[in-house]
Amino acid sequence: MNILLKSAKIVCPENKALHLKKRDILIKKGVIEKIAASIEAPSGVKTIERKDLHVSLGWFDSSVSFGEPGFEERETIENGLGVATSSGFTDIILNPNTNPLPDSSSNIVFLKERANGNSTNLHPLGSLTVNSEGKDLAELYDMKSAGAVAFYDFKKQISNPNLLKIALLYTQNFDGLVFSYPQDGQIKGKGIVHEGDVSTMLGLKGIPAMAEELQIARDLFILEYTGGKLHIPTISTANSVKLIGNAKKNGLDVTCSVAVHNLIFTDESLKEFDSNYKVMPPLRTKSDCKALIKGLKDGVIDFVTSDHTPIDIEDKRVEFDNAVSGTIGLESSFGSLNLLFDIEETIALLTKGRERFGVKTASFAEGEKACLTLFETSSEDIFSMANIHSTSKNSLFLGSTLKGQVYGVINNNQIII
């Protein structure tokens, strides 16, 4: 793969000499050979010129679900990675919510082998407990050796506090990272949306913010006792931000993430009973959205994620109470973040996080492997079915105006435009 990017505006705060400069970039055999103000295209090199062409390090998403194995009708690994590529992502963390669940080294090996040869790299999570039943720890060390980057019972609380204690102690032996989903199942009960005025008006069972915050407070107390590395995925309330911020000030090794849709939509969106808005954690209030955005800007919240969760139509086009929670989000991540933040902040959010999972971050420099995302920043368009490449179409961004467009990625000696 030999290509020349012409007049590309580089967005890379880590490289101050190149950041926000327009440069030609020559890439040969997957390596950045030259970056200069002007480069003549050598023989046999394809030239790429696009309107408002921007380039950054490849994007990263810390919470993506597909379906294979077991739920291929929702999304196969091959198609899912294609969606990630067309959405600008060169690395994704794959959630463990398949059938069978990846609770052994052989499952991890299967996932990695299925992803070989793609332009987007797949980094699997292993289940924290056997069959994600919350009883016995799975083969954590063996899975780490096989390529699992962390351990998570996807969207299931760790109800036994002693289990979390043991997991945090045990994983310190091999620098493992433990996920704990922030929701107390007993307080949640049969709730399906945020508990508040809207849930009362609609007659829907609510989930109080306290269900999330009590779980986080408990987990942070355990982390303080044990040490180790804890990640709290997809927080959704203002008090959750405060709790984690205080824990970081006290020196605890904790990170957290937030889903893009929890920054934008509130429970007011539920009034039409559209099941695409049924997500977990639930959409909260406007004040929660503001606190989450501030938490990202302040660095309390470490990562923003699409929380991409394909759900087939049979499980979504039913009564709201019976619909399965989840929304796809890879295709809409950039365009929605670009509305909330300036382009430098947006790209910083989309490129950070790899180190937490032991994934190497590429460098934007001559002689380095090309791991790049190409995009433009200014066009506005209404997100429609035509923008969705996922097998499942359950997006709560349908009908929303998004800003910017992904042109493609360059990674693993491949270019996808």
Query: Catalytic residues, which ones?
Result: 307
Who contacts 324 (Cβ-Cβ below 8 Å, separation ≥6)?
A: 278, 311, 315, 316
**Are β-strands 54-57 and 2-10 bridged in parallel, bridged antiparallel, or unpaired?**
parallel
Asked if 255 and 219 touch (Cβ cutoff 8 Å), the reply is: no
Are the beta carbons of 350 and 88 closer than 8 angstroms? yes
The C-alpha atoms of residue 121 and residue 85 are separated, in whole angstroms, by 9
Cβ-based burial of 175 (10 A; exposed 0-12, middle 13-18, buried ≥19): exposed
DSSP secondary structure letters along 201-244: HHT--EE-HHHHHHHHHHHHHHHHHH-SEEEE-----HHHHHHH
Classify the C-alpha dihedral 285-386-306-338 as positive or negative. negative
Could you give the CA distance from residue 96 to residue 138 in angstroms, rounded to a whole number? 12
